[in-house]
Amino acid sequence: MKDQLLKRISDRSATVAVVGLGYVGLPLAVEFARAGFNVIGYDVSKRVVDLLMKGESHIQDVPASEIAALVESRKFVATTDESRLKEADTISIAVPTPLAKTRDPDMSYVIAVAEAVQRQAHPGMLVVLESTTYPGTTREVMQPRFESLGLTVGKDVFLAFSPERVDPGNEKWNTKNTPKVVGGITPACVDVAKALYETCIDTIVPVSTPEAAELVKLLENTFRSVNIGLVNEMAIVCDKLGVDVWEVIDAAATKPFGFMKFTPGPGIGGHCIPLDPHYLAWKMRTLNYRTRFIELASEVNSSMPEYVVEKTSIALNDDRKSVKGSRILVLGVAYKRDIDDMRESPALDVIRLLEERGATVDYHDPHVPSYREDGHSRTGVELTDEVMAGADAVVIVTDHRAVDYKRLVSKAKVIVDTRNALARLPAGKARIVTLARR
C-alpha cells in the first residue's frame, strides 16, 4: 500500500483532497494543484463552493484569477458532495477548531469530518489533520475510526498530524516557503505524508509522533500569546513610569541575541493566538495541571481593550468631554494590519465597551466595508475630512497601510494610537495619545 501510494504521489496520479476551504485549506489546495495534482476541495458551505466554482476567491491571499484558471483546467474542483472524498488518495483536513462558550475546545467540526472520512475511507488512503488541536486528537479521534473499518494504520491506511502555519497578509512567508512539521502514527505514515507535502512545500520537518506535531503548533501560538502579554504589561508599566515603551522595545531589539521583538497593542485576535493556547490549557486541566502562563497571558491580553477605552476616556476628559455623548471613530477593525479577518478582533470589544459607556461609534476599515456580529450588521464610514474632523476622538485599533495617517493627523482632534502608527509622522493638529508615554 505504502509503495503504491508513494508512486502515485511521485507521478502525480494521486487525487488529493482538502477538506475545509478557508484561510488554511484554500491556499493548500492551490499549492497541491500547482504541484500537478488533481485536487478535490470539499466544504460544507455551498456559498464557498459556488463562489470558487465561479472562479472567485473569498480568501484575500488567494487571487481569483488563480482559482479561475485551476477550475477551468479542471485541476481543482470544489464540492459539497462528501462522497467525492472516496476518489481521494490523500485527504488534508483544515476545518475550524473554535472554543465553546465555556472556553473548552469545540471539536464538533473535526468530529464531523472524522465521521465523513470514516464513511469514505478506503485502503491506501492518507489522512492528515491540519486543524490546530489538543495533543492526542489524531490518535484518539481519528485513528479509532479507521480501525473500526478493520484497516490497520501504518499498513492499510496512513494517518498524520501536520500543523498549518499560515500567516494571512504576510508577503514573505506563505504556504510554500514556510517549513511544515509532520508527525505520523507510524514511521510509514510520516514517510507518506512527507512525500505528499514535499511536492509543494520547500521544507518538511518530521517529528516522531502526532502528539509532538500537535504540541509544536500549541507551543508556537502559546509563545506568541505569552510574549504579547508580557509586552502589553510592559506598556502599562512604562505608562505608569512615564517611559516611552516603543523606545525601550526598539533599543532592546538591538541586542543581537536572546531577545525577540514583540509590540504592544489593543489585544489579540484571529482564529489562532487567542484560542489555541486554551486547547492546551483544557487538555492539561484533564490531567490536573494548571497552565499558569497561558492563563496569565490571556488575562493580560484580554484586558487590553478595556485599557484602550480607559485611555480614550482620559483623552476626552483632557478636552473636558465624557465618553457618553462623544462621537468616536474606530480606525481598523480587522484583527491585524492589511487583512480582512474580523475573527476575535479586539476592535469588537473596544467598540462594545465604548458604546456601553454611551459613545456613538463609527468605524472605518479599508479591508472590512461591513461586518456582522451577534446578528447585527455594521457598515463602515468613508474616511472623509468631515468624518475625521467631526470625531471627538479617533482610536487606531488596526494600522492598515492603506490609511492616509498624515491627513488624519492634520484633521482629527485627538487620536488614541494603540499601534504606534503615527510615530514617524510630523506633528499635526491632532493631539496624540499612545498606550504608553511617548
Return the number of the residue (15 or 131) whose C-beta is nearest ligand NAD. 131
DSSP 302-364: HTHHHHHHHHHHHHHHHTT--STT-EEEEE--SSSTT----TT-HHHHHHHHHHHTT-EEEEE
111 binds ligand NAD (CB under 6 A): no
Q: Is residue 272 among the annotated active site residues?
A: yes
- Site size for ligand NAD (CB under 6 A): 27
**Which stretch, 94-102, 185-193, 206-214, 319-327, contacts ligand NAD (CB under 6 A)?**
94-102
107 binds ligand NAD (CB under 6 A): no
Amino acid identity of residue 106, one-letter, is D
Q: What's the angle, vertex CA 163, arms to CA 159 and CA 167, rounded to 5?
A: 150
CB of 374 to ligand NAD, least distance (A): 18
97 binds ligand NAD (CB under 6 A): yes
113 binds ligand NAD (CB under 6 A): yes
Return the number of the residue (20 or 206) whose C-beta is nearest ligand NAD. 20
272 binds ligand NAD (CB under 6 A): yes
CB of 121 closer than 8 Å to CB of 151: yes
E strands, 185-290, are: 204-207
Rounded to an integer, what distance in angstroms lies between the CA atom of residue 8 and that of residue 15?
9
Return the number of the residue (119 or 324) whose C-beta is nearest ligand NAD. 119
Helices and strands (H and E) in the chain: how many: 16, 15
Among 16, 17, 20, 38, binds ligand NAD (CB under 6 A): 20
CB of 385 closer than 8 Å to CB of 329: no
C-alpha grid cell, residue 353: 465597551
Is residue 358 exposed (0-12), middle (13-18) or buried (19+ Cβ within 10 Å)? exposed
223 binds ligand NAD (CB under 6 A): no
18 binds ligand NAD (CB under 6 A): no
CB of 345 to ligand NAD, least distance (A): 13
**Which stretch, 92-100, 179-187, 201-209, 228-236, contacts ligand NAD (CB under 6 A)?**
92-100
Map the footprint of ligand NAD across residues 291-330, applying CB under 6 A.
none
Among 1, 25, 209, 232, binds ligand NAD (CB under 6 A): 25
CB of 296 to ligand NAD, least distance (A): 22
Q: 193: part of which helix (H) or strand (E)?
A: helix 187-198
129 binds ligand NAD (CB under 6 A): no
CB of 301 closer than 8 Å to CB of 274: yes
51 binds ligand NAD (CB under 6 A): no
Q: 81: part of which helix (H) or strand (E)?
A: none
183 binds ligand NAD (CB under 6 A): no
6 binds ligand NAD (CB under 6 A): no
39 binds ligand NAD (CB under 6 A): no
Return the number of the residue (166 or 185) whose C-beta is nearest ligand NAD. 166
31 binds ligand NAD (CB under 6 A): no
Rounded to an integer, what distance in angstroms lies between the CA atom of residue 263 and that of residue 245?
9
User: CA-CA-CA-CA torsion for 167, 246, 388, 302, nearest 10 degrees?
Assistant: 60
Burial 365-384 (b: 16+ CB within 10 A, else e): bbbbeebeeeeeeeebeebe
169 binds ligand NAD (CB under 6 A): no
43 binds ligand NAD (CB under 6 A): yes
Q: 22: part of which helix (H) or strand (E)?
A: none
Helix (H, G, I), strand (E, B) or coil at 129: strand
Among 95, 193, 342, 433, binds ligand NAD (CB under 6 A): 95
Q: Residue 389's Cα: distance from chain center in Å?
A: 34
Map the footprint of ligand NAD across residues 374-393, applying CB under 6 A.
none
| Chain contacts with ligand NAD (rule: CB under 6 A) | 19-25, 42-45, 48, 94-97, 109, 112-113, 131-132, 164-166, 168, 271-272
**Which residues are known catalytic residues?**
272
